[in-house]
A and B are shown apart, each in its own frame.
Chain A
Amino acid sequence: MKPANEELQETLAVERQGSIHRDTLASLKRLSIPAGSALVAALAFLLWQVASNYLFVVAAPGAAISVLVSGFTQGWIIPHAQATFGSAMVGFGLAILLGVGWGIFLGVSTFWRSVWEPLLLSAYAVPKLILFPIFLIFFGIGFQAQVAMAFIHAVFPLIILTTTGVREINPVFVKVGRSYNVGLADFLTKIYLPAIALPLVVALRMGFSLSIIGVVLAELFASRMGLGRVVMQSYSMLNIPRMYSVILLLFLVAFVGNVFLWVVEKRLRGVIK
């Protein structure tokens, strides 16, 4: 058997199953799970507050929030946020175009899939950040190098998961399409797209987060603008509250984006069932 990428497949399996726990809890308990999760979040926040009292490298939550708010009211954070999320989203968009296109091609062609699969899985396991100097040499410091970083972080899970989605399409759907002489455009939009919608959303969720992480990592290394650069500057000036305000913003955006796509995923699962 070909060594499939269990990590990605597994994320998919977890999503499909809904949960890794098979036992169904009573309805009362089911209600208590989100409550428990919220409690954990509250505890983490409390821990953050306590830690800030004892460790000088931890800014108090209140201080971080007020600096973040001032960043938007005074406007100093806005160009950095634009630089980071702008290049992340452009790179992510390019990764979607190439990743989904290539993924569909590999899903359809057995031969090219067996050629490319091991190469793609290896590429996925490589530390991509160290390729950043090459992008810097070719593109120079700035927007293009960051876009390349976002792209290379997001593209491999997109290809791999799209391929899996296409490969797992029920062959009956394809046969029905063939026997009705469906055109290529309809084949893609009416048969392939609905069938791979779920793995695609999982891939988009991974790609979204990874493109942001890729850009921020690159900014920690070298950039003129961006949230990663602000964190590195705050570190060298020991401006701890500002450092945490930026970290807070990044976590919020990553979290909200993640949860949004998660909700889309759950809706889709409902539709499919």
Chain B
Amino acid sequence: MTPTSSWNVLEQRLPSIVQVLLIAAFLTLIEYVGQARLISRTTMVPFTEMVATLWQLVTDGEVLPNVFRTVIEALGSFVLAMSVGIPLGFLFWRFSGLGKVMEPYLVSMYAMPTVMFYPALLILFGLGPVPIICIAVVAAIVPVILNTTLGLAQMPEVYFKVARTAGASPWQTFSKVMAPAASPFIFTGLRISAIYSLTVTIGMEFILSDQGLGYAVRIFYEFFSTGEMYAYIMLNLTIAVALNFFLFRGEAAMRRERV
């Protein structure tokens, strides 16, 4: 390897290296501030202690039921958002007048504090996964609908003409032309939808629930168990970041495959 090319490699990798250094510096700071007792243990614990506490909680079997509950709720709302959102997106594309009529509401849905209906849903369905899924679906369905409509609307007219010339049946036009052409857009919608399902679920659990990853943060806060609280916050953040990362990777891989 010539010096120039190894320098180029270093230059390419430099952003990732700096990223790792930044994260390491942040964690070291938390560790140092905790170890040196610059702030009290009731305020924050050192990073290594968060990890140790988390491991303790996992081996105690405390974490798994909470993870299970969160996964059920997030997955449930994601599947619902997907199975209702894609047909609705198709409908809004097929009848574009209807789509335009609904558009201002869909686009401004994210801006509305729909979470405020959570207490009403709690009265109606009681403490459990149902009210959480209701709130999460409302947030998670919007990107699916918008992206499905967008994916279908961006298809060139030529695709349909070719399909017609080739004598494709409606089903063949759908499965061989429309689905592949719109799928990258729909996948983007599904990725955003999955993230929303998870974050809204955790948020609602945090406000009021009887189990789940968000609930665990709340309950340890109320018990003044700072170590356990930080351990669970760390777990929540890690899961959300990991999901986001793998969905991005999956999407990128899908795009590459198509090209």
Interface residue ranges, A against B (CB under 8 Å): 1, 3, 6-7, 10-11, 14, 19-23, 25, 29, 32-33, 36-37, 39-40, 55, 57-58, 111, 114-115, 118-119, 121-122, 125-134, 136-138, 205-206, 208-210, 212-213, 216-217, 220-221, 228, 231-232, 234-235, 238, 240, 243, 246-247, 250-251, 254-255, 258-259, 262
Please tell me if B10 contacts chain A, counting CB pairs below 8 Å: no
Q: Is the CB of A216 within 8 A of B214?
A: no
Closest-CB distance, A199 to chain B (whole angstroms):
16
Q: Is the CB of B96 within 8 A of A220?
A: no
CA distance A147 to B206 in the complex (A): 19
CA distance A3 to B123 in the complex (A): 42
Lowest 10 CB-CB distances: which A-B pairs, in order?
A: A209-B111, A235-B119, A36-B101, A114-B15, A133-B221, A127-B199, A125-B244, A127-B202, A129-B203, A247-B116
20 pairs across A/B with beta carbons < 8 Å?
Answer: A1-B252, A7-B143, A10-B146, A10-B188, A14-B107, A19-B100, A36-B97, A114-B15, A115-B18, A115-B19, A121-B248, A125-B195, A127-B198, A127-B202, A130-B233, A130-B236, A134-B233, A206-B110, A228-B116, A234-B119
CA distance A238 to B232 in the complex (A): 32
The number of chain B residues with a CB under 8 A from chain A is 72
CA distance A210 to B199 in the complex (A): 14
In the complex, which residue of chain B has the Cβ closest to the Cβ of A133?
Answer: B221
Q: Is the CB of B153 within 8 A of A250?
A: no
If over half of B's interface residues share one DSSP class (helix, strand or loop), that class is named, otherwise mixed; here it is helix
CA distance A255 to B192 in the complex (A): 23
Give every chain A residue within 8 A of B217 (Cβ-Cβ): 130, 133
0/1 interface trace, chain B 112-145, chain A, CB 8 Å (1 if under): 1101111111111000000000000000000100
Q: Is the CB of B203 within 8 A of A217?
A: yes
If A3-B252, A133-B217 touch, whether A213 touches B115 (CB-CB below 8 Å) is yes
Closest-CB distance, B99 to chain A (whole angstroms):
6
Pick from B15, B191, B208, B221: contact of A115, CB below 8 A.
B15
Give every chain A residue within 8 A of B111 (Cβ-Cβ): 205-206, 208-210, 213, 254-255, 258
0/1 interface trace, chain B 181-225, chain A, CB 8 Å (1 if under): 000000010011001001110110011100000100110010000
Q: Is the CB of B153 within 8 A of A6?
A: no
CA distance A21 to B195 in the complex (A): 26
Q: Is the CB of B241 within 8 A of A126?
A: yes
Give every chain B residue within 8 A of A228 (Cβ-Cβ): 116
In the complex, which residue of chain A has the Cβ closest to the Cβ of B198?
Answer: A127
CA distance A262 to B7 in the complex (A): 48
CA distance A136 to B97 in the complex (A): 48
If A21-B96, A125-B195, A221-B207 touch, whether A130 touches B244 (CB-CB below 8 Å) is no
Please tell me if B240 contacts chain A, counting CB pairs below 8 Å: yes
If A20-B153, A29-B97, A115-B15 touch, whether A130 touches B113 (CB-CB below 8 Å) is no
Q: Is the CB of A122 within 8 A of B14?
A: no
CA distance A88 to B36 in the complex (A): 35
Closest-CB distance, A129 to chain B (whole angstroms):
4
Pick from B103, B119, B233, B252: contact of A131, CB below 8 A.
B233
Extra A-B contacts (15), CB below 8 Å, given A6-B188, A127-B203, A228-B116: A19-B100, A36-B97, A36-B98, A115-B15, A115-B19, A127-B198, A129-B203, A131-B233, A134-B44, A136-B221, A213-B113, A217-B115, A220-B207, A243-B119, A247-B117
Q: Is the CB of A220 within 8 A of B115?
A: yes
Give every chain B residue within 8 A of A258 (Cβ-Cβ): 108, 111
CA distance A212 to B101 in the complex (A): 26
Please tell me if B49 contacts chain A, counting CB pairs below 8 Å: no
Please tell me if B226 contacts chain A, counting CB pairs below 8 Å: yes
CA distance A250 to B116 in the complex (A): 9
Please tell me if B43 contacts chain A, counting CB pairs below 8 Å: yes
Closest-CB distance, A210 to chain B (whole angstroms):
8
Please tell me if B149 contacts chain A, counting CB pairs below 8 Å: yes
Q: Is the CB of A231 within 8 A of B119?
A: yes
Q: Is the CB of A58 within 8 A of B120?
A: yes
Pick from A10, A58, A247, A255: contact of B147, CB below 8 A.
A10
